[in-house]
């Protein structure tokens, strides 16, 4: 049986570093990312990012910007792979 549960995990070790990586994987990863990620132009939709592409974005809570990130849509077909990676460069 394949486990398609959605997980969110910090993918970098604890401590000070140049980047931080947050990885969302599973069936609902793009639905969750769509609620958290906003693009400066407002034109991009996280559900329609081309596979293996990276985009400047913001993490938001409601209308408040929490942080700036690069959103990376991973995989040959995002709806098959279901992985969204958010990278914060310090």
The structural domains of the chain, with segments of one domain joined by +, span 7-89
Closest CA to 32 of 15, 14, 52, 46: 46
Those residues with Cβ within 8 angstroms of residue 63's Cβ, 6 or more apart along the chain or in another chain: none
Q: Among residues 42, 37, 49, which one has the least CA distance to residue 73?
A: 49
Give the C-alpha separation, 29 to 5, whole Å: 9
Mean pLDDT of all residues in 39-67: 86
Note the pLDDT of residue 1.
47
Three-state DSSP class for residue 35: helix
Q: What is the pLDDT of residue 77?
A: 52
CB atoms within 10 A of CB 19: 11
Domain covering 7-89, topology: Gyrase A; domain 2 (3.30.1360)
pLDDT in tens, 10-51: 888 888 888 888 888 888 888 888 888 999 887 778 878 887
């Amino acid at each position: 049986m394949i486990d398609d549960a959605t997980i969110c995990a910090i993918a970098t070790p604890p401590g000070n570093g140049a980047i931080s990586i947050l990885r969302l994987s599973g069936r609902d990863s793009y639905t969750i990312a769509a609620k958290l990620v906003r693009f400066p132009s407002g034109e991009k939709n996280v559900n329609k990012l081309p596979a293996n592409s990276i985009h400047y974005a913001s993490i938001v809570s409601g209308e408040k910007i929490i942080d700036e990130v690069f959103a990376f849509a991973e995989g040959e077909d995002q709806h098959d792979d279901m992985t969204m990676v958010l990278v914060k460069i310090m």
